[in-house]
Structure 1
């Protein structure tokens, strides 16, 4: 019998089993649930998942190869090819079918899965669950915003640099972190991702080489690659970035920039110490590259944790952050702080993108920051996360799992002991959305690591299922 909750193939139907299976995967590829480069299950795993013979799977994969949707790589398996869009006639002739959920094969698929997922069953979630956030904080800000004194904000384009009241509050927030930036050095954006995109478009050119953390943020890998940037992966572990490798890459390739998360790194949870931060800044001076410091998880970290921008004085470092992780993902409010000479080009591109960012949401965020309300909310989140990490560490140890880095902040970097990309589908079939380590690799290298969200991984049933799937995979991979 097929495993998990996916719809079974229909025996005795007019379309043979191999054709049904081929159509199932073709539909996923057409709907971008399986993207180019995604690895399909092995013949044996696929046969077991769908309750069919290996011969049926081979026949289905042959059909997909003949259609130009798959390619076989020697001793590695079957992978989705870059496919041409189907004609409108061909699309209209295909029967509609329910598409089973597919384990994430890249960051886009993971994000799509998170929009559809139940947070309580999503250990791979990249954000805090909704019930951890504070709706009263948002509601209070919106009520105050609708008062007569704020009417002008609601009926105007707003300042292209961002709401003045918010930039004043941000200047104070940065000062608390040791980063001295006047409101004139701050540009608000439609989320931290938009800030990073503006920096790519204004500070980099196609063909430039850029250092990136590996593991790191797959969305940023995709954006850089799309812009024609050459990625130089810097290995990152629970001890931080390998600065010896970084120095060698810088000497060989003369990179233009280094994009990094210095505090509560996603996915390892590591934060740079002072010694490594100082050495990194010396390397930037020696090899003449600038640094983009992504501090998206900064509100979940203690304020005394060193920031590169504080040590550098925004000379080579541009600081990026936002509020979606602690307020609500629905409010796309981010910002960057940088040297004045970089700001004009960034503001111009923001204007071309959409004239300005939302003055209404920006003023609402400013109201949340005033009187220390956001600071107190962040402190409560840090305390709750500390308790969650203790519980998750206990659950993981009970099932015999270890951590590749000491968990901190929202994430832990778990060593499952088997290829987590292979485990992701049976876990999803059992109802659990996970984030295998290959999603965070600049080269999509498979491995035994998995990102764990501390807030959404507290159900003992998840850990029992993960142990069962890992043991099952290990047993099937062992020689007879």
Structure 2
């Protein structure tokens, strides 16, 4: 069925609540026709999952009005999308993004909740490749100009000039560079976590550390407790392993313990994965009482605790860690340096019970062989010399100021914070569908992190996560307010 065959019906349709079309991106002086430009922009949105499967495209008339072109131009663009198999025409209803076929996964029917692994890729691609020269409120890391490049360069020079010359010419130690692991023992003591160097394994970032744990301790069909909301990459990663997700509502002080106890009793989970401090996206941290109750549930129902302390360098050291409370008996502690040093180096680590070390190192060897000793020793130097500590202090001072300014701007533009603003991220109530807003703001050059990315099952919502360091630009909030009015 062609766009021309459905146009009389769809021209009179109002766009659905989830509909969005590319705006303001047509170049009438370009060699590419306006039809091809419209089709290309829709194609990009679909492939980046900014228009999800099942989303309704604007009617031909509405798209023509937004773009300032004739309906015939839009009809021809929609015909291209139909021919590519990206959309389907439903008589009397309009045009909808097609669901792409995916191979069946084992145990999918038994999953309590799951998320397609590609659902978070639009945001991830935006983090890797900036949409424009504007700040990215949906960014997951600190801005590049907040990082200390001279400190990194100096540490690398010292490793190469003063260290073992063979370090750059051979594989590193299977468990990771000894110098870094010893420096990490000292750092972990600041949080009350007592670990020997032999209990620490390095990884290519915290995400890799989490993957090592999951591949070692889980098998398809196992149930895993996860926070909700939380970062969709973790949902997708676990789903790809064929495990069943058991979402536990997460508040400012930690998970809903009543829900957790019920799920643990009914589903016998193998593991609970959580961000204890400066949680993504809510910014909350476990209090001592909640941490103690989680440990009791884990003991009672015999499941592992995986503590992803990715934002440790941005948080006060006194906040409770479960690994400190149980002495690394049932808890596996994960962290890294992407959020404070640089996301490029991909240096992470895990501190684990002694009885698991050999199994976890075996999994690491099968996935990456070893990790880069040059970068690990450079991080060790930053730790040993105190330069990382001083850098973290400067960043947290700057982040406090950014958070104060961003909160003021958000509230001035009619938004409110669902949880107290803390750390790097704010969890913001906007009053409108943020999936639609993400599409519209994308066309204006702004990267948003809509709330549906942080749920185990896809749902429309009005929340979004903002990065306080990249949301201070008043232009962003003015554009957001203007487009929100059009959505309303």
Name the TM-score, length of structure 2 as normaliser.
0.85
**Residues 1:66 and 1:431: Cα distance change in structure 2 (over 3 Å):** closer
Structure 1 counterpart of 2:106: none
| 2: CA distance, partners of 1:403 / 1:76 | 37
Structure 1 counterpart of 2:318: 304
Q: Secondary structure at the match of 1:5?
A: coil
| 2: CA distance, partners of 1:16 / 1:330 | 38
Q: How many residues align?
A: 451
| 1: CA distance, partners of 2:178 / 2:129 | 36
Map Cα deviations across residues 158-182 of structure 1 (whole Å, 9 max, x no partner). 2111110000000111111101110
- Aligned with residue 50 of structure 1, among 67, 81, 101: 67
Map Cα deviations across residues 271-318 of structure 1 (whole Å, 9 max, x no partner). 111111111111111221111111111100010011111112111110
Q: Aligned-pair distance for 1:121? A: 2.2
| 2: CA distance, partners of 1:62 / 1:279 | 58
Map Cα deviations across residues 355-410 of structure 1 (whole Å, 9 max, x no partner). 20001000010011112211111111111111111111111121121101111111
Q: How does 1:161-240 map to 2 (within 5 A)?
A: 161-240=175-254
1:39 is aligned to 2:52: no
Contact 1:37 1:80 in 2 (8 A): yes
Name the TM-score, length of structure 1 as normaliser.
0.86
Q: Aligned-pair distance for 1:343? A: 1.3
**Residues 1:158 and 1:207: Cα distance change in structure 2 (over 3 Å):** same
Q: How does 1:202-351 map to 2 (within 5 A)?
A: 202-351=216-365
1:122 is aligned to 2:140: no
| 2: CA distance, partners of 1:473 / 1:21 | 21
Contact 2:57 2:94 in 1 (8 A): no
Gaps of 5+ in 1: 86-104, 475-480
1:409 is aligned to 2:434: no
| 1: CA distance, partners of 2:379 / 2:334 | 16
Q: How does 1:358-437 map to 2 (within 5 A)?
A: 358-437=372-451
Map Cα deviations across residues 108-156 of structure 1 (whole Å, 9 max, x no partner). 1111112221574211110000110111211110121122433232233
Contact 1:122 1:433 in 2 (8 A): yes
1:82 is aligned to 2:96: no
**Residues 1:40 and 1:171: Cα distance change in structure 2 (over 3 Å):** farther
**Residues 1:189 and 1:444: Cα distance change in structure 2 (over 3 Å):** same
Contact 2:24 2:67 in 1 (8 A): no
Structure 2 counterpart of 1:99: none
Gaps of 5+ in 2: 1-20, 104-117
1:25 is aligned to 2:38: no
Contact 2:126 2:447 in 1 (8 A): yes
Q: Aligned-pair distance for 1:60? A: 6.2
**Residues 1:27 and 1:402: Cα distance change in structure 2 (over 3 Å):** closer
Contact 2:137 2:449 in 1 (8 A): yes
1:137 is aligned to 2:151: yes
1:7 is aligned to 2:21: no
Structure 1 counterpart of 2:123: 110
Contact 2:50 2:438 in 1 (8 A): no
Q: Aligned-pair distance for 1:270? A: 0.6
Structure 2 counterpart of 1:353: 367
Q: Aligned-pair distance for 1:20? A: 6.8
Contact 1:3 1:48 in 2 (8 A): no
**Residues 1:26 and 1:394: Cα distance change in structure 2 (over 3 Å):** closer
Q: Aligned-pair distance for 1:242? A: 1.6
| 1: CA distance, partners of 2:422 / 2:345 | 25
Q: Aligned-pair distance for 1:326? A: 0.7
Q: Secondary structure at the match of 2:470?
A: coil
